[in-house]
Amino acid sequence: MIYLQKGLKNSHLTKQPTELSDWDWLKSYQPLERTEINSSDLAHNYKENKAAFVLAGQMATLTRNDTNLTKRSILFFDIDGTDGDDYQTAVSSVQSALAKIAYLIYPTVSNGYKGTRLRLAVPIDSTFDAAQRIQIGDYLRQLLPNNWQTDLTSYGSHWSQLAGLPVLNAYSVMHKCKLAMNDAESFLGLAQIKSSQAPMIKPQRKELKDLAESKVRNDREPWQDLVNRAMAQSINPPSHGRHIFYSSLIGSLLLMKLDQPVIKTLITWSNQHSDNPLPESELYRTIDSVSRTAARKERVNG
């Protein structure tokens, strides 16, 4: 079943009246051309208020939350960084890596400086639950270039995560970003994934509680690793892939609960020591975009 939601400011879904399968419905969807979206601010506003988001699966009710979503049928996988590859080069890499399974690749709206991102949709041969979604995501990620930055929230965060539908903004129209589909091959099989991975045992409530408590007790070590990595990255900024680099670094600094003025000072200092610094306006837009995205996810996930 296909469910749609308009904007991110609510959690009410609308069931689509269709006789098509979930995959056939997604394939038939025509991308919206929104060339007026030509900045990260406009992209953010569009996502919050107007963008169409999809959820393919089965809901108990039309209120979107992790409890009401019982099964999914399509996995959506975001690719936010391709190590400098342009859209078409990235698409070609996906086509090569996933040549034996069905998929749909399309541009959609993000909060980044381009206002666009590449999204991959993969139909599965049977519906799947939350634990299986993580297995599927891990399996697909291993097939893609290991120097790419994939958005783990697309398959590893809250179970009822939405996926934006195809949108052509100013950047994607200018760079001729088009949909690409492989419909000649069969759906990715759950059995195929399970045979390539160690079996996953779904933890029970007590095991989940014990795991959470152990993470709290052992929090100091991974926290120190996060601090060390963030500081090392800020000292050695790259000359290429700068937007991706600073987006990741800003995310780490936000996890450390640093104040915005401190983050701005650190990021500006790092950028000034780059061989190829970003313009100050782009740097500040990136800080603002990542901060707003983090704040929204915190509101959604509690």
- Every domain of the chain and the residues it spans: 2-200, 206-301
Residues in the chain: 302
pLDDT in tens, 58-77: 999 999 999 999 999 999 98
Q: Average pLDDT, stretch 256-272?
A: 85
Asked whether residue 171 carries a pLDDT value surpassing 90, the answer given is no
Asked whether residue 115 carries a pLDDT value surpassing 60, the answer given is no
Asked whether residue 127 carries a pLDDT value surpassing 90, the answer given is yes
Supply the pLDDT for residue 81. Answer: 58
Task: Show Cβ contacts of residue 290 under 8 Å, excluding neighbours closer than 6 positions.
Answer: 111, 247, 250, 251, 254
Q: Given 3.40.390, 3.40.50, 1.10.3470, 3.90.920, which CATH number is that of 2-200? A: 3.90.920
What do you get for the CA distance between the two ends of the chain, in Å? Answer: 27
- The continuous run of DSSP H or E covering 208 comes out as helix 205-217
Strands 103-109 and 180-182: antiparallel
Prediction pTM value:
0.64
